[in-house]
Chain A
Amino acid sequence: MDLLGNLALGFGVAFTAQNLMYAFFGSVLGTLIGVLPGLGPVATIAMLLPSIYSLDATPALIMLAGIYYGAQYGGSTTAILINVPGESSSVVTAIDGYQMARQGRAGAALAAAGLGSFFAGCVGTVIIAAFAPPLTELAFKFGPQEYFSLMVLGLIGAVVLASGSLIKAISMIILGLLLAQINTDVISGTARYSFDIPELTDGIGFVVIAMGVFGFGEIISNLGMPAEHREVFTKSVKGLWPTKQDFKEAWPAVLRGTALGSLLGVLPGGGALLASFAAYTVEKKVAGASGRFGKGDIRGVAGPESANNAGAQTSFIPMLTLGIPPNAVMALMVGAMTIKGIQPGPQVMTSNPQLFWGLIASMWVGNAMLVILNLPLIGIWIKLLTVPYRFLFPAITLFCCIGVYTLNNNTFDVYMTAAFAVVGYVFYKLSCEPAPLLLGFILGPMMEENLRRALLLSRGDWGTFFVRPLSAGLLIAAALMIVIVLLPSIKSKREEAFQEE
C-alpha cells in the first residue's frame, strides 16, 4: 500500500542516471576514504560541504549518504587488514577480523563483512521505509535519563568484549571517560584540563587516540618482537572466499546482527556503534564454548559488521524524522540540508517526499554498489598483506601521519598522536585493552550532558534513573549483563583449573 507506493517513488528518483552516478561516486569516495586510516568520513564530508552548493539537494544528500556507508565499509577493511579501525564502529571488527587476516583468512573476513553488510543494508532500508513513523514514537519517549542509562548499558557491553580482566576493562572505560573530559564544558563554557593550550579546549580528537593507541602502538609492539615471533600474517592465504563451514557459522550471526543493529540504530546517540558492540557480545554468548572469539572467529566479524551497517541505515530515522543527528556524519548531513534550505524534521517526509524516499532508495542502491565494488577488490586488498612488514610499517606510519595532520590541518594533532603512541605501547605492555577506552571516550561528553540534564530536571535526585520505567529497564539490563558475564567466566576459570589438575 503506502509502503510500496513510497518505495516506488523513491526508486524512481534513485534510478535516474544523475542520482545513480552520485551514489556511485559517493560510495567509491567513501570506500577510499575509509581504507585510508585517519581520514574519516567526517573530515571528507566537511571538505565537500562547500562543493554541494552547486548541486541539487537530492543528489547532494545521496552522495553524502554514499560516502557515509562507503566509509563504514572501507573502515572495516582496514580494521581487518591492519588492525586500525577507520571508524569507531569498526573497533569491534578489528578484534576477530585482524586475527583472521593473520591466519591467512582475510578474504573470508572481508567477504563476510561485505555480504553481511549488504544483507543488513537491504533489511535496514526496508525497515526505514516501513517503520520510520512508528519508531520515532519510541525515540520521543527518551529523556536524558534514558540516554544516560542507555550509555551505561553500552559501556557495560564493551566490558564484556574485553578478553582480559573485567576490572581492568572497567578501569579503561573510566579512563576513556576522563580523557573525554579534556574539553570545554558545554553548559558553563569552562575550559577543562586544557593547561591553557588552545587546541586542547576543543578536546582530543577521536582519530588522534585511535591512531596513536591502535595504529602506532601496534607498530611499536610488533617491531619490539624478534622477527620470527612477530605477530603479522601467515604467508599462506587460504582462499579468497569463505568456506561452507564459514557460511554456516556466519549466516545466523548476520541475522542476529541485523536485528540488533536495526533496533539500536534508531536510538539517537551512536546507534551503529552500540549495535556493533552489542552484536559482538551476543555472538560471544550464543557461541559459548565453541567460539574462538578474539582468535579469529568469523561470527565476530559477520555479526558486528551486519549490526553496524543495519544501525548506520536506521540511524537515518532520527535524523530524517526528528532532525536530531545521532552522530557527527549525520550532523554534517543536517548541515548540508540546511545549506540547501531544507529544515530537517518531521515535515521533510511530507514536504519533500522526493528527497526523503529518494534518499532511502539510494541507500539500497549504494549498498548494492558497494558489494559489486568491493568483492572483486578483495583480491587486491589481500595482495597488500603479502608486502613484507619492513615496507608496510613505514607506509602505515605515513598514512596515519598525513591523516592526522589533515584532520584540522594542524601539527598539534600530530604531536598528540605521538604521545598517544607511547600511551598505546604502555597499554600493550600492561595488558590493558584499549577498545573499551575508545568507547568511553566517544560516549563521555554525551553521557555527562545527559547526566547533568537529568539531575537538573530531577532537582538533584539520583533516584530519577530508577523511577522512570524505560531508564530502569535499561539499567536492569546492564546489571543483568554483568551477572551473565560473571557466571560463565567463573565457570570457564573453573574448567581451566580442572584441566590443570
Chain B
Amino acid sequence: MKIKSQRDFWSGLMFVVVGVVFAVGATNYSMGTSARPGPGYFPLILSILMALLGAFVLFKSLTIEVEGGDPIGAIAWRPLLVIVASIAVFGAALPRLGLVITVPILILMTSLAGDEFKWKGVLATAVVLTVGSWAIFVLGLKLVIPMWPWFVG
C-alpha cells in the first residue's frame, strides 16, 4: 500500500489515535443511559465520531491520488525546540528568579531560534522589553508578578 497524501495520512492517524485514547478514557466514567446521560456519555460519542472521521481521512489518503504526494517537508527542529524550551524555562524561572532576570533569559533563548543572532540587538531588545513589561504589566496593570529573585526580595 502506498501513501498518496502524506499530510492526510498522518492527520488521519492522529485523529484515530486521539479518538481511541479518549474512548478508552471515557469507559472509566459512568455512561448512564440516554435518558440519564452520565459523565462518560458525551465524550464517548465524540471519541467514536473522532475515530471514524480519522479513519475516513486515513482511507482517503491511501486511495485518492494527490499531486506531488503532499509531503510534510522538513521539520524545523531548531525553532521548535528552542521556542518550546524557552516557554518552559520562562515558566520555571519566573516564580523563582522574578521578572527582572527571567525576561532577559527568555529573550536570549528565543533569539537563538532565529537564523541571525546579533549580541547588540538582542541585548537592546532584552533591556527594552524588561523595562517595558515592568511598566505595562506591573506599573500599569498592577498585575501580581514576582519582580526580583528570591534571594533579593
Contact = CB atoms under 8 A, between A and B. Distances in A.
Interface in B116-153: 116, 121-122, 125, 129, 133, 136-137, 140-145
Contacts of A461: 34
B104 to A, nearest CB: 10
Nearest to B50: A174
Interface in A305-363: none
Contact of A168 (B38, B41, B57, B144): B57
Contact of B115 (A227, A430, A432): A227
Given A170-B53, A411-B94, A421 B84 contact: yes
Nearest to A226: B115
Contacts of B38: 188
Interface stretch (A116-124, A449-457, A486-494): A449-457
Interface residues of A, number: 68
B57 A167 contact: yes
B79 A224 contact: yes
A27 interface: no
B46 A174 contact: yes
A316 to B, nearest CB: 25
Contacts of B39: 185, 187-188, 190, 192
B7 A431 contact: yes
A371 B115 CA distance: 40
A426 B19 CA distance: 17
A417 B86 CA distance: 11
B43 A181 contact: yes
Given A390-B116, A398-B106, A455 B35 contact: yes
A498 interface: no
Contacts of A448: 42
B75 A192 contact: no
Interface in A376-435: 389-391, 393-395, 397-399, 401-402, 405-406, 409, 411-412, 414-415, 417-418, 421-422, 425-426, 429-432
B114 A405 contact: no
A39 B141 contact: yes
Contacts of B145: 402, 405-406
Interface in B83-99: 83-84, 86-88, 90-92, 94-95
Given A167-B53, A167-B57, A192-B43, A178 B18 contact: yes
Interface SS majority for chain A: helix
A141 interface: no
Contacts of B56: 167
A418 B86 CA distance: 9
B91 A394 contact: no
A398 B125 CA distance: 11
A269 B124 CA distance: 46
Contacts of B74: 224
B44 to A, nearest CB: 10
A394 B22 contact: no
Interface of A: 32-33, 36, 39, 44, 47, 165, 167-168, 170-171, 174-175, 177-178, 181, 185, 187-188, 190, 192-193, 216, 219-221, 223-225, 227, 389-391, 393-395, 397-399, 401-402, 405-406, 409, 411-412, 414-415, 417-418, 421-422, 425-426, 429-432, 447-448, 451-452, 455-456, 459-462
27 contacts: A32-B140, A33-B141, A168-B8, A178-B46, A178-B50, A181-B22, A188-B39, A190-B39, A192-B25, A192-B40, A216-B84, A219-B83, A224-B79, A390-B111, A390-B116, A393-B110, A394-B111, A395-B129, A398-B110, A401-B87, A401-B106, A430-B7, A430-B14, A448-B42, A456-B36, A460-B36, A462-B34
